[in-house]
C-alpha cells in the first residue's frame, strides 16, 4: 500500500491523516481504485482536487470520482431484515444516498470536466461483516427494474422485466432508476466493487517464497458461466496459485441515457451492464464475494507439508459445503415460491445455514474490518451473505429473483 501511495501523482494533503483516522475506508477505496486502474493499463493523473482521477485507456478518457457507502447512525440491522427486502430496498437506499450526493455536486459544470465522460466509483463499507454484499441491490436501483425468473431449474435462464418506482424500508424511501433522475445524463457510468479492501492489497502483494510461515486461502463465490445457472458457484484457492486481477470483483453499469458514453473497452476486464437485462461478461473469472483466511506460524517456522495438506483439505470442504448449501437453498426457495406464487418478501426461515468445516486450530486471522474473517465464509444462496434466507441471486440476473410457476 505504501508503494501504491508513493505512485499517486497528487494525493490530497490530508490523505494520510484521513487514512489513520475517520476516513480510513474512503482512502483505502481511493488507493485501491488508483492501483486497479494503474496496474490494468490506465494512464491515471490527478490534475485537479476533484474529481479524484482522470483516467485514459484505449484512446478514451473519463473523470472518476470515488465514493463510499458508510455506516449511519440508527441504521437498521440487516440480520433482522429478510434478505429479499435487503436486496430490494435497504441496499438501494444505502447506495442511493452517496450516489445522489455526487449527482448533486454537478462536477460536469466545472470547466475541466465539462464535455467529458464522468464516472462514479462506489464501494460499500456500511457493514462490519467482512463478507460484503454483491452488486445486486445497486443494479436494481440504477436501472429501476426488477427481474422475475420464468424458466425452471436446470433450464437456460429466462426472466421477465418489470419497473420499480421506489425503494422503502422503515421511515426511509428513495426514488428508483438513478440513471433517469434529473441531470443523471451527465453520469456516464457507475462502477462498483466490494473488493477494494486491505486484504486485496495483501493478496496481490503476497509472496509465498518470502513468507514460508504463511498460507493465505481465499474462499467465496464467483460467477457461474453456465447458461442454466441462477446462482453463483463456490470456490476455494490458495493465494498465489491462481491469478487474481486487480479489477476482479469490479462491475460496470453503463448509463444508456448518458450524454457522454464510454465503450465497453474502457472498463474491459469487468462485467458490464447496459440495461437491466443485458450483461457482457468476458472470459475472466469474476468473484462476487469472498473472505481471505490467513494461516500463520511464528517467524522462522515454515508451514510443513502435513499442515499445508490439512489447510487445503479444509478449503476443499468449505467450498463443497458452500456449494451444497447454495444448491439446497435454491431448490427449497424455488419449490416454496412456485407453490405460493410471487412474494413481496420473506416469511419463512431459511433452510440449513452453512456450518463450518473442521479447520486447523493453529491459524491466525487479520482484522474483520479489512475483509478477512476468523471463520470460514457463511455463504447463502444470494452469493454474498450467510444463509439468512434462501432467495437466490444470479450474477447475470443479479436481483433477488421472485419465482413464478413456469408456463
Per-residue pLDDT reduced to its tens digit, 49-97 = 999 999 999 999 999 999 998 876 554 455 567 777 888 888 899 999 9
Task: Report the mean per-residue pLDDT for the chain.
Answer: 79
* Three-class SS state of 133: coil
Domain ranges of the chain: 2-370
Provide mean pLDDT across the span 216-245.
89
Residue 369's pLDDT band, with cuts at 50, 70 and 90, is: very low
Residue 394's pLDDT band, with cuts at 50, 70 and 90, is: very low
Residue 128's pLDDT band, with cuts at 50, 70 and 90, is: low
Provide mean pLDDT across the span 357-373.
32
Residue 385's pLDDT band, with cuts at 50, 70 and 90, is: very low
Q: Which residues touch 60 (CB under 8 Å, ≥6 apart)?
A: 117, 262, 263, 265, 266
> What pLDDT shows up at residue 165?
93
Residues of the chain above pLDDT 90, percent: 45
Higher per-residue confidence, 399 vs 225:
225
Per-residue pLDDT reduced to its tens digit, 309-362 = 999 999 999 999 999 988 888 787 777 767 654 433 333 333 322 222 333 333
Cis amide linkage into residue 38, ω under 30° from 0: no
**Do 351 and 328 touch, CB atoms closer than 8 A?**
yes
Q: Which residues touch 65 (CB under 8 Å, ≥6 apart)?
A: 50, 51, 52, 102, 107, 118, 119, 120, 121
214: its cell numbers: 504463511
Whole-structure pTM over 0.85, yes or no?
A: no
Provide mean pLDDT across the span 382-389.
30
> What pLDDT shows up at residue 277?
65
| Crossing angle of the two packed helices 24-38 and 198-205, in degrees rounded to 10 | 40
Higher per-residue confidence, 100 vs 125:
100
Per-residue pLDDT reduced to its tens digit, 185-226 = 999 999 999 888 899 999 999 999 999 999 999 999 888 888
Residue 279's pLDDT band, with cuts at 50, 70 and 90, is: low
Residue 137's pLDDT band, with cuts at 50, 70 and 90, is: confident
> What pLDDT shows up at residue 398?
37
**In DSSP terms, which residues pair with 256 in a beta bridge?**
none
Provide mean pLDDT across the span 111-130.
87
Amino acid at each position: 500500500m505504501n508503494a501504491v501511495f508513493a505512485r499517486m501523482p497528487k494525493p490530497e494533503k490530508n490523505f494520510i491523516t484521513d487514512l489513520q483516522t475517520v476516513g480510513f475506508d474512503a482512502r483505502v477505496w481511493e488507493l485501491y481504485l488508483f492501483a486497479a486502474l494503474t496496474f490494468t493499463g490506465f494512464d491515471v493523473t490527478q490534475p485537479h482536487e476533484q474529481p479524484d482521477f482522470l483516467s485514459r485507456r484505449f484512446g478514451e478518457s473519463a473523470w472518476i470520482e470515488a465514493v463510499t457507502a458508510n455506516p449511519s447512525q440508527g441504521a437498521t440491522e440487516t440480520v433482522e431484515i429478510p434478505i429479499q427486502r435487503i436486496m430490494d430496498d435497504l441496499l438501494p437506499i444505502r447506495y442511493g444516498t452517496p450516489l445522489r450526493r455526487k449527482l448533486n455536486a454537478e462536477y460536469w459544470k466545472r470547466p475541466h470536466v465539462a464535455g467529458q465522460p464522468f464516472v462514479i466509483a462506489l464501494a460499500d463499507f456500511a457493514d462490519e461483516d467482512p463478507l460484503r454484499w454483491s452488486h445486486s441491490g445497486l443494479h436494481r436501483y440504477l436501472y429501476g427494474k426488477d427481474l422475475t425468473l420464468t424458466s425452471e431449474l436446470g433450464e437456460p435462464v429466462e426472466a421477465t422485466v418489470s419497473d420499480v418506482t421506489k425503494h422503502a424500508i422503515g421511515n426511509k424511501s428513495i426514488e428508483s432508476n438513478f440513471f433517469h433522475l434529473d441531470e443523471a445524463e451527465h453520469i456516464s457510468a457507475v462502477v462498483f466493487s466490494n473488493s477494494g479492501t486491505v486484504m486485496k492489497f495483501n493478496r496481490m502483494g503476497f509472496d509465498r517464497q518470502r513468507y514460508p510461515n504463511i498460507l493465505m486461502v481465499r474462499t467465496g463465490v464467483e460467477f457461474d458461466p453456465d447458461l442454466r445457472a441462477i446462482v453463483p458457484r463456490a470456490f476455494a484457492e490458495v493465494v498465489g496459485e491462481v491469478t487474481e486481477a486487480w479489477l476482479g470483483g469490479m462491475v460496470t453499469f453503463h448509463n444508456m441515457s448518458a450524454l457522454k458514453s464510454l465503450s465497453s473497452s474502457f472498463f474491459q476486464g469487468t462485467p458490464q451492464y447496459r440495461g437491466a437485462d443485458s450483461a457482457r461478461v468476458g472470459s475472466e473469472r469474476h468473484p462476487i464475494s469472498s473472505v481471505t483466511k490467513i494461516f500463520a506460524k511464528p517467524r522462522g517456522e515454515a508451514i510443513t507439508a502435513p499442515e499445508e495438506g490439512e489447510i487445503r483439505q479444509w478449503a476443499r470442504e468449505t467450498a463443497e459445503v458452500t456449494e451444497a448449501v447454495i444448491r439446497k437453498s435454491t431448490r427449497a426457495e424455488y419449490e416454496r415460491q412456485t407453490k405460493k406464487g410471487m412474494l413481496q418478501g420473506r416469511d419463512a426461515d431459511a433452510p440449513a445455514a452453512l456450518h463450518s468445516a473442521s479447520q486447523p486450530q493453529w491459524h491466525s486471522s487479520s482484522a474483520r474490518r479489512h475483509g478477512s474473517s476468523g471463520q470460514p465464509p457463511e455463504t447463502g444462496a444470494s452469493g454474498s451473505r450467510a444463509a439468512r434466507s434462501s432467495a437466490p441471486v444470479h450474477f447475470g440476473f443479479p436481483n433477488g429473483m421472485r419465482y413464478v410457476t413456469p408456463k
